[in-house]
Amino acid sequence: MDSEEFAIFRKKLNKTQKQMANLLGVSIKAIHSYEQGWRTVPPHVERQMFFLMARKRGILKAQKPCWTVKNCPPKQKKECPAWEFQAGKFCWFVNGTICCGTAHEKWKEKMKLCRSCKVLTSIM
């Protein structure tokens, strides 16, 4: 997540920088730094921002789980943490999910794939 996207999400959530800092459990200086591009938005903060956007937008009720959207084969589905924890609408939130046949253990790699997936783009 870059500084511009962070600021856009904060504004869509209708939060001040101080409110966002409290909500994310970080300092207001961290929020300033993320929005100015002085600091990289850490994975746990990015994950929380997507979660808050998903809840704010309220679209998860109508959304199909990832294994349906991606038409995952049964064997792959059973090995995937998203299936195990019934988090098909929050697959982007869970590390180690098996997308495109591979588990992406690092957040940066995972998000590169997730950002082009209909499951995550529907909340953005």
**pLDDT number for residue 107:** 83
pLDDT higher than threshold 90 for residue 6: yes
**Mean pLDDT across 96-109:** 82
The closest alpha carbon to 36, from 69, 2, 70, belongs to 2
Mean pLDDT of the chain: 88
Say if residue 70's pLDDT is above 80.
yes
Between 30 and 120, the more confident residue is 30
Domain extents in the chain? 3-57, 66-121
17-67 residue pLDDT tens: 999 999 999 999 999 999 999 999 998 899 899 889 888 876 656 678 889
Give the architecture-level CATH label for domain 3-57. Answer: Orthogonal Bundle (1.10)
